[in-house]
Amino acid sequence: MRILIVDDSHEITDLLVKVLTTVGHDVVSAEAGREGLDMIINGKFDLVFLDIAMPDFSGLDVIDQLIRSGRMKQNTVVLFTASSITDAEVAELVKKGVHSCLRKPVRIEALFEKVEEAGRARVAAGN
C-alpha cells in the first residue's frame, strides 16, 4: 500500500515510515498540514494517517479542505492523534468521510490492524 503520514512530530513520522516500510509498504511523510494537503491533492495514497493537532494548519483544516475540494471520498483518512477528541467528535468526522481514529500512543498491532482494515475497505470499494 502507498501510505502518507502527516504529523508535526519528526520522531513519530520517522518511526512510522520505518515500521511500515519494513513490512513492505511505500510510505512517505509530511510534517505540516499544508504540506500534507498538497501531497494528498497531488498524489495517490491508499491510506493517510493524519494528526489533528498541528500548528498553523491542523488536521481538521486538512479535512475541511478535502471536503471543499470534493476529494475527501477519494482518500482513506485515519485520524492519528493524542488530542482529547471525543468519541462524538470522531463520529461527526466519520460522517464527513474520515475512516476512523487511532489514538496515540499507539500499539504497533493496532497500527497494523488499521492498515489492514483500510486495505480491505479499498478493495471492497473497488479502488
Rounded to 10°, the helix 33-42/59-68 angle is 30
- Three cell numbers at 36? 500534507
Domains present along the chain, CATH in parentheses: 2-121 (3.40.50.2300)
Q: How far does Cα 87 stand from its chain's mean position?
A: 17
Task: Please give the torsion angle defined by the CA atoms of residues 62, 9, 16 and 57, in that order, rounded to the nearest 10 degrees.
Answer: 0
Summarised one tens digit per residue, pLDDT across range 101-110 is: 999 888 899 9
Check whether 126 has a pLDDT greater than 90.
no
- Residue type at 103? R
* % the chain with pLDDT above 90: 79
Summarised one tens digit per residue, pLDDT across range 6-24 is: 999 999 999 999 999 999 9
- Residue 127: its pLDDT value, please? 60
pLDDT band at 84 (very low <50, low <70, confident <90, very high): confident
- Residue 85: its pLDDT value, please? 86
Mean pLDDT of 46-73: 95
Taking residue 71's Cβ as centre, other Cβ atoms within 10 Å add up to 14
* % the chain with pLDDT above 70: 98
